[in-house]
Amino acid sequence: MIGKLSAVLKNKTIKNAGYLIAGKVIQMMFGLVVTLLTARYLGPSNYGLISYAGAYTAFFTAICTLGINNVLVKEFVDHPGEEGMVIGTTLGLRAASSIFSSLAIIGITCFIDAGEPVTIAVVALASLGMVFHIVEAFNYWFQSRLQSKVTAMATLCAYMIASVYKVFLLVTGKGVLLFALATSLDYFCLGIILFSQYKKHNGGKLQFSWEYGKKLFGKSKHFILSGMMIAIYGQTDKLMLKQMIGEAEIGYYATAVSICGMWCFILSAIIDSVYPSIMEAAKAKNEEAFRKRNIQLYALVFYISVFVSICFTVLAEIVVGILYGKSYLPAVVPLRIITWYTAFSYLGVARNAWVVAKERQKYLFSIYAASAVANVVLNLLLIPAMGAAGAAIASLVAQVFTTLVVPFFIKDMKENSLMILDAIMLKDVLWKKQEG
């Protein structure tokens, strides 16, 4: 009986990942042309300016999400039939924190970039997207029900609308300010579509609960500080490049990061689809299945990433030249470095399922704090001499520290580091017997 149930679950997981990947592939094919045309149209400096604004919003997103995203799937699994309260409370908490974060970004930019009105305006417009970003809560509800077909279609539709908006800007020759609004439009449209689908699929009435909000915050608060540390070593490089060298260098670095991220939707889809099955194994206290599914996920993420990184390393100059043009060729060296960041970065994302199930969230801050310090120090040392390439090296080293090195020296996290090493060595990846 358990074996049959496991087989059904695996089949749903595969279909779930399939819908996510298919939707993202279509989105990528349509959006790639628009993104490349936008980068060529704006040039390295203005493209770097958009990336600079994105660094601010990405940094504060770690705060305004309140760490809730990391526990939402488990909350839906643990509280069936109460999705209205879970989503409603999440939306309320995140709306308040997002508005505060947006105002904070504008204030900081006015101080740091005083005398640069265009920079301040671009950052302010880009920060609005954080407010609409709260619609992710609906996305996680569909994921918990293994109905990612809905979110895949909704995301595709919203992205198409935002892409048409960008095409309009390109055709009419608009300035960089209006391009900064694209992300906000994307999430605004996504929110409308997901809410309508939530009601269509008989989702519960949205309601806010202070009592539940306190409990939810108690479970997610450890992810806030850890998320901030992630943001520091994930976004500090762009902020420091702007202040130490200039917008163009951010443009080269952002180009390398963008190329690396073109295919990462596959990893995200795999992780998002396997996540519920890992939580089900944890809830059923099936330690064998829990360990096996985690190791299998790590191995899949790592080796897919390594394969793509080898391709990017060999073909970097050709890829950058064809996609972005000769003006972006300085991005080749950073690309060959930062591409290896992906494997360790997404191993860290995949690890969140184990962390939540084992309730080891309290250790995340120490892990990410150590890595953030290492990243900032390395950026200070390497950026002046190597520019974007130095920032890429700093990010890669910091990510290896975060995923493998630092957790290995924490008693309650060492087990996970060993699991990741087992996955890299392909140890205990295959089932010896039928699960269950």
> Residue 134 gets which letter from DSSP?
G
Angle at 35 between CA 34 and CA 40, to 5 degrees: 100
Binning pLDDT at 50, 70 and 90, where does residue 435 land?
very low
pLDDT of 433 higher than 60: no
Q: Please tell me the least confidently modeled range out of 227-236, 285-294, 368-377.
A: 227-236
Give the tokens for residue 13: 């997981």
Sign of CA dihedral 31, 34, 37, 43: negative
pLDDT of 4 higher than 50: no
Highest mean pLDDT: which of 69-83, 295-309, 350-364? 295-309
For 388-431, how does the pLDDT look when each residue is reduced to its tens digit (9 = 90+)?
899 899 989 988 988 888 899 988 899 989 999 999 988 876 65
Binning pLDDT at 50, 70 and 90, where does residue 319 land?
very high
Q: Give residue for tokens 């006015």.
A: 110
Q: Reduced to 3 states, what is the DSSP secondary structure of residue 385?
A: helix
Residue 426 main-chain phi, psi, to 5 deg: 60, 35
Residues 395, 317 contacting (CB under 8 angstroms): no
Cα dist from 427 to 286, 299, 432, whole Å: 19, 9, 12
Position with higher pLDDT, 209 vs 257:
257
Count other Cβ atoms within 10 Å, centred on residue 114.
10
Give one word for 146, left, alpha or beta, with left for phi > 0 and alpha for psi -120 to 50: left
Exposure of 140 by Cβ count < 10 A (0-12 exposed, 13-18 middle, 19+ buried)?
A: buried
Give one word for 359, left, alpha or beta, with left for phi > 0 and alpha for psi -120 to 50: left
Q: Please tell me the least confidently modeled range out of 8-17, 280-289, 359-368, 370-379.
A: 8-17
Position with higher pLDDT, 96 vs 68:
96
Position with higher pLDDT, 112 vs 203:
112
pLDDT of 11 higher than 70: no
| Average pLDDT rounded to a whole number, residues 28-34 | 72
| Average pLDDT rounded to a whole number, residues 256-260 | 87
The percentage of residues in the chain with a pLDDT greater than 70, rounded to a whole number, is 86
Exposure of 345 by Cβ count < 10 A (0-12 exposed, 13-18 middle, 19+ buried)?
A: buried
pLDDT of 7 higher than 60: no
Residue 311 main-chain phi, psi, to 5 deg: -60, -45
**Side chain identity at 403, as an amino acid letter?**
T
Secondary structure (DSSP) of 313-366? HHHHHHHHHHHH-GGGGGGHHHHHHHTTHHHHHHHHHHHHHHHHHHT-GGGHHH
Q: Give residue for tokens 């309140």.
A: 66
pLDDT at 278: 85
pLDDT at 70: 66
| Average pLDDT rounded to a whole number, residues 148-165 | 79
- Domain boundary assignment for the chain: 2-424
Q: Which of 203, 206, 198, 195 is nearest to 88 (CA)?
A: 206
Give the tokens for residue 421: 């090493």
Angle at 211 between CA 206 and CA 213, to 5 degrees: 60
Helices (H), 262-286: 265-283
pLDDT of 10 higher than 60: no
pLDDT at 299: 92
Q: Which of 221, 265, 202, 245 is nearest to 32 (CA)?
A: 265
pLDDT at 19: 58
| Average pLDDT rounded to a whole number, residues 222-248 | 75
pLDDT of 2 higher than 50: no
pLDDT of 139 higher than 50: yes
pLDDT at 81: 72
Residues 103, 92 contacting (CB under 8 angstroms): no
pLDDT at 334: 93
> Residue 405 gets which letter from DSSP?
I
Mean pLDDT for all residues in the chain = 80
Q: How many angstroms separate the CA atoms of 349 and 403, rounded?
A: 9
Question: What is the enclosing helix (H) or strand (E) of 239?
Answer: helix 210-244
pLDDT at 9: 45
The full length of the chain comes to 436
Give the tokens for residue 53: 């604004």
pLDDT of 184 higher than 50: yes
Long-range contacts of 314-317 (CB under 8 A, 24+ apart): none
pLDDT at 226: 65
Q: Please tell me the least confidently modeled range out of 12-16, 90-94, 176-180.
A: 12-16
